[in-house]
Amino acid sequence: MKEQIQFNLRYWLVAVLLFSGLQYLMALQQRTVEIPYSEFEQYLQEGRLESVAVSERFVEGTLKEPLASGQNLVRANRIEPELSAHLQQYGVRYSGRIESTLLRDLLSWLLPLLLFFGVWFFLMRRLGNGMGGGMMQIGKSRARIYMETDSKVSFADVAGVDEAKDELREIVEFLRDPQTYGRLGGRMPKGVLLVGPPGTGKTLLAKAVAGEARVPFFSISGSEFVELFVGVGAARVRDLFEQARSKAPAIIFIDELDALGRARGIGPMGGGHDEKEQTLNQLLAELDGFDTSSGLVLLGATNRPEILDPALLRAGRFDRQVLVDRPDKLGRLQILTLHLKKARLAADVDAQAIAALTPGFTGADLANLVNEATLLATRRQAEAVAMGDFNAAIERIVAGLEKRNRLLNPRERETVAYHEMGHALVAMALPGVDPVHKVSIIPRGLGALGYTIQRPTEDRFLMSREELENKMAVLLGGRAAEWLVFGQLSTGAADDLAKVSDIARAMVTRYGMSERLGPVVLERERQRFLDSEAMYGLTRAHDYGEATADAIDEEVRRLVEESFQRSLTLLEARRELLKRCASELLEHETLDAAQLQALLQSV
């Protein structure tokens, strides 16, 4: 009914506009020629006028023969009050005319009215499109619905998160056969929260659950519930759950749940009457109100669980949390295997080597890596993607884009070469350090004038004090090389100093690796889970006295200085090798692991 009314209204508007246009065209066709009264008087004297019409403001004459432009009407302003007596001298017909102003008056109020309705209709359409289709649809859910045949994703398309898949297979079995699965009196969790860093595959896992269970999948982002008007978000939550109940068994997936489920009443502006809190309250009520036996499951995803409201995470709501973490080496290999199937690979491509080169990469990072390598191979017009393309893609992602147009003067270039070789030689001299993969003095990214890439042989989850000290020595190797060769320091070690200082402070305050301060935790790793003070920056700087703070600073300084002296001693013993390697690096700009080993063996 509503659509029919809108359809008729559009026809009426079109009809009115056409009528006004025709009237305007007719007026244009009958337009008269404005002439001075003296010329009109001349026409009278020459007998060129067939008839004259007189109004209160002007006189209009019809010519016996049209003008060259085709008009046969002339008009002049009336200036004589006794015009009728004057006209009788020339023997012409004359008559009085009442000027009609109907069309002018009609257009004077009709056109502004049409303009107003046109602007109003345009604004309502734009506002309606921004709110999900019309003012009457403002409270409707904007969830995208994927029916059973729409979801093409399965667990076979998800790799590297085997533990999370095992947790979610229970949900699939329940949705397929809820009566059999609950025969012993158990019930499924009402809500499952997928927690993990960005890019680890939380959304993909949710789609895989829907694809495996073959049920409708309602997907929506948490930010889509909140709009300009108060009460819209709560109405959309109600509508979403009503639609899902009508299609049960089904899955409701709320991505970026932290946009909707932020903890209530936190901070100086906390309150219980704003739009987001009303939306959250409605979501909590819906979670309490639906029965899992109907086959309705709520999935949520967030990478910021620390800011969620505690009421969301209690038992009976989101009572199961599934960690979707960064994949380990085996997980990265599985993910790469999936993505490499879509690329044409050369014979030298080794998926295990790529997995070893990419510690800390998420599934999204690995997909981007394969795409970058494919683009690099396409750019050089190769027939297949080679291992060199993957190495170049890793360097581009980790270190940034090459800046070959960033020209360094000879002294700066030499300083960068010795700096990077200092890192490499210290790393190659110490035991238990990740092997050096490549050294380069080609500028990359925003500020990197050179880089040294180390390739870990395996994923590490624990580090000893000796390994931390070795890592500090490697980081300070570049600064030590500059001091040893040039006798002065540069700003190139700024990032290295920041990392070394962080490691030394963690050793003293968190790991209890200082003999002076003992095995005491002075600073805890900031979890920020449901910590209202941490969220608003209200935490204290530290929980110890000034004397302890001075002792911590002295210990951090001592650890850093000892690591620097250690690097300096190692490079002093290899000074000739440092000069030779730096010369080779200046000549070739890049040295890989094989070239570095050849230089070491030649000494």
DSSP structural state of residue 558: H
Q: Could you tell me whether strands 250-255 and 296-302 are parallel, antiparallel, or unpaired per DSSP bridges?
A: parallel
Which SS3 state, helix, strand or coil, does residue 132 take? coil
Helix (H) or strand (E) run with residue 325 in it: none
Question: Was 196 annotated as part of a binding site?
Answer: yes
Is residue 454 left, alpha or beta, with left meaning phi > 0 and alpha meaning psi from -120 to 50?
A: beta
Which SS3 state, helix, strand or coil, does residue 457 take? coil
Only one residue has tokens 């009402």, namely: 190
445 backbone dihedrals φ, ψ, rounded to 5°? 65, -150
DSSP states of 487-551 as a string? SS--GGGHHHHHHHHHHHHHHHHTS---TTT-S---S-----TT-HHHHTT---S-SS-HHHHHH
Question: Was 423 annotated as part of a binding site?
Answer: yes
Rounded Cα–Cα distance for residues 193 and 310 (Å): 13
Q: For residue 359, count other CB atoms closer than 10 A to its CB.
A: 17
H helix intervals, 1-75: 2-29, 37-46
Is residue 537 left, alpha or beta, with left meaning phi > 0 and alpha meaning psi from -120 to 50?
A: left
Question: Was 162 annotated as part of a binding site?
Answer: no
DSSP structural state of residue 447: T
Q: Could you tell me whether strands 217-221 and 250-255 are parallel, antiparallel, or unpaired per DSSP bridges?
A: parallel
Query: Can you read off the two tokens belonging to residue 570?
Result: 């190692």
Residues 6+ apart with CB under 8 A from 180: none
Residues known to be catalytic: 420
Residues 6+ apart with CB under 8 A from 327: 159, 160, 161, 200, 334, 335, 361, 362, 363
Query: Can you read off the two tokens belonging to residue 348?
Result: 């030298």
* Of 429, 404, 553, residue with least CA distance to 481: 429
Rounded Cα–Cα distance for residues 565 and 106 (Å): 94
Only one residue has tokens 């510690």, namely: 359
CA 156 and chain centroid, separation = 27
Q: What is the 3-state secondary structure (H, E, C) of 219-286?
A: EEEHHHHCCCCCCHHHHHHHHHHHHHHHCCCEEEEEECHHHCCECCCCCCCCCCCCHHHHHHHHHHHH
513 backbone dihedrals φ, ψ, rounded to 5°? -105, 20
Question: Was 202 annotated as part of a binding site?
Answer: yes
Which residues partner with 192 through β-bridges?
299, 320
Rounded Cα–Cα distance for residues 168 and 206 (Å): 9
* Of 264, 362, 257, 251, residue with least CA distance to 302: 257
Residues 6+ apart with CB under 8 A from 522: 508, 509, 510, 542, 543, 544, 548, 552
Question: Was 180 annotated as part of a binding site?
Answer: no
Contact indicator for 247, 235 with CB cutoff of 8 Å: no
Binding site members: 196-203, 419, 423, 496
Q: Which residues are part of a known binding site for Zn(2+)?
A: 419, 423, 496
> Which parts are annotated binding residues for ATP?
196-203
